[in-house]
Amino acid sequence: MQPLYLTLRLSSIVIIKHYQEEGQGSEVVQGVLLGLVVDDRLEITNCFPFPQHTEDDADFDEVQYQMEMMRSLRHVNIDHLHVGWYQSTYYGSFVSRALLDSQFSYQHAIEESVVLIYDPIKTAQGSLSLKAYRLTPKLMEICKEKDFTPEGLKKANIGFEHMFEEVPIVIKNSHLISVLMWELEDKSTVADKHELLNLSSSNHLEKSLQLLMDRVDDMSQDIVKYNTYSRNLSKQQQQKHQYLQRRQQENAQRQSRGEPPLPEEDITKMFKPPQPPPRMDTLLIAGQINNYCQNVKEFTSQNLGKLFMAEALQGHN
């Protein structure tokens, strides 16, 4: 498959509106992306949200809901082809096993599928944050084989940096939307425009670093589990080697006495190897740590630019 790049039409506005209506703090909102593939371009022309349902809606069928929505859009001559899904994120916290499993299901069924990540926190800082991701071919093969053991991941030579690939995005608005945005910009107050130069960043940076430390703690716990597994495996190998040496000595003594050797036993049943801890969760944690670091880097770079700009303005005054 040749590389894709994304063209968004109107969908970004619908995604933002969905979060503003139903998203609260760290609550995640999700929905379906619709569009079509044109050459090496994936055009996302429409979307619709997954409704929020509680425990009382036990009979709610998401698959049936999606089919009915796409059928209704087809009746009014709107692009109805399923090309992926979108999800909001809280301070960039989206690299998880749930996202991996969902994207694998989409991408396995529809090769061009993407997941669109919307970050409302970063958007509130003054720049629209929309990123599209796909699973890499290496990760798709591992998910198909479901071999997440340390040996399987080592054989595939995959690390956290080779799990997701970002797809470039181009946002295109209709002429009516562009006119509306110009009108809103004219009506906005001077104070609103100066929000982009706000130098206060302690809350955002503090929360990002706190989430980063939590993930580092999770990584430390996984490392402890893997080290315990390695020690247990090494100890068992020593016990197996000692057992085989004792059997050989006993058989040599029996042979010298003219006695038949002892019957061979299945060592694998006597020494069952310890269960290795799943390494995919560790890779996901490492990927999330890397994502937090990139967010902190981008945010501090922007603030440093604002500080230098403010310093230059003060020098002129």
Side by side, which strands form the sheet with 164-167? 164-167, 130-135, 114-118, 81-88, 30-38, 41-49, 5-9, 169-172
Does residue 234 contact residue 274 with C-beta atoms inside 8 Å?
Answer: no
d(CA 215, CA 209) in angstroms, rounded, equals 10
- HSE-CB at 69 with a 13 A cutoff on CA atoms is 18
| Residue bearing the bigger pLDDT, 187 or 183 | 183
pLDDT band at 201 (very low <50, low <70, confident <90, very high): low
Is the Cβ–Cβ distance between 301 and 205 less than 8 Å?
Answer: no
Q: How far apart are CA 92 and CA 214, in angstroms?
A: 14
Conformational region of residue 49, where left means phi above 0, alpha means psi within -120 to 50, and beta covers everything else: beta
Residue 115 pLDDT: 92
Residue 2: its pLDDT value, please? 44
Specify the range with the lowest mean pLDDT, choosing from 140-149, 168-177, 193-202, 273-282. Answer: 193-202
Average pLDDT across the chain, whole number? 80
Residues 6+ apart with CB under 8 A from 223: 282
**Does residue 194 register a pLDDT over 60?**
no
What is residue 1's predicted lDDT score, i.e. its pLDDT?
45
The token pair that represents 104 in the structure block? 């694998």
Q: What is the per-residue pLDDT for 65?
A: 72
Other CB atoms within 10 A of residue 77 CB: 7
pLDDT range class, residue 143, cuts 50, 70, 90: confident
Q: Is the pLDDT of residue 196 over 60?
A: no
Assign 23 a pLDDT band (cuts: 50, 70, 90): confident
| pLDDT at res. 156 | 80
| The predicted structure's pLDDT at residue 192 | 52
Please tell me which residue, 295 or 136, carries the higher pLDDT value. Answer: 136
The per-residue pLDDT for 58 is: 59
Q: How confident is the model over 239-260, as pLDDT tens digits?
A: 888 888 888 888 888 888 888 8
